[in-house]
Amino acid sequence: AQTVTQSQPEMSVQEAETVTLSCTYDTSESDYYLFWYKQPPSRQMILVIRQEAYKQQNATENRFSVNFQKAAKSFSLKISDSQLGDAAMYFCAYTPPGGGADGLTFGKGTHLIIQP
Amino acid sequence: KAGVTQTPRYLIKTRGQQVTLSCSPISGHRSVSWYQQTPGQGLQFLFEYFSETQRNKGNFPGRFSGRQFSNSRSEMNVSTLELGDSALYLCASSIQGDTQYFGPGTRLTVL
């Protein structure tokens, strides 16, 4: 079974600074998708960024970018110019193409605090 | 496009009762997945429906069931509620099952 590990239960960063959230995963598949989701206090799970494993280029969405290291099975999220609205739980997730028997496999999350 | 909607947003039930939660996916999405989120267990996959058929199922007892209608709307039912069923239930829709977009969730409290 696939596993996703987020080793940082909590991170804190000053507003306008850059922060990197870590994620590692384990799979025997060669093709898959990786995601970062944000869950603010409203509890709505919001898709932040998606990476397809067969694409070597790291995904970027405005201030959010990933560092995808396929061989190391590492998928970190970098948030640049942190804003107060970025404060949330961040979940790393994995799924094979077309979804899988286990749906999305999530890590336990990282609580991101933004210091004003 | 309108996002994923879930109703009701909040529910309070007592042990032994049953509950039905509803999810309307994004227009054009045929896959609907359900997840349970609790502080202790995190996010756990319940099941996925695709074109009215249950395609995948997580490791939950038979008290948890679901269905999907021809318009892709999905319902989830929990019978004989237990205290441990108190959780946030999240529905997600996708075109094929991989990139999933979530609704706001239904918070279920079992007393």
Min mean pLDDT across B60-64, B69-73, B94-98 is at: B94-98
pLDDT in tens, B86-111: 999 999 999 987 899 999 999 999 99
Q: Say if the Cβ atoms of B98 and A108 lie within 8 Å.
A: no
Q: Say if the Cβ atoms of A35 and B99 lie within 8 Å.
A: yes
pLDDT in tens, B46-55: 999 999 999 9
Q: Is A16 on the interface with B (CB under 8 A)?
A: no
User: Is the confidence at residue B1, as pLDDT, over 80?
Assistant: no
Among chain A residues, the shortest Cα distance to B60 is held by: A102
Among chain A residues, the shortest Cα distance to B101 is held by: A47
pLDDT in tens, A20-52: 999 999 999 999 999 999 999 999 999 999 999
Question: Average pLDDT of chain A?
Answer: 95
Give the burial string for B77-102 (b: 16+ CB within 10 Å, else e).
ebeebeeebbbbbbbbbbeebbbbbb
User: Which stretch of DSSP H or E encloses residue A50?
Assistant: strand A46-52
Give the burial string for B13-31 (b: 16+ CB within 10 Å, else e).
beeeeebebebbbbeebbb
pLDDT at position A97: 85
User: Is the confidence at residue A1, as pLDDT, over 80?
Assistant: no
CA–CA dist A65, A84 (Å, integer): 18
Residues of A in contact with B94 (CB under 8 A): 99
Question: Average pLDDT of chain B?
Answer: 96
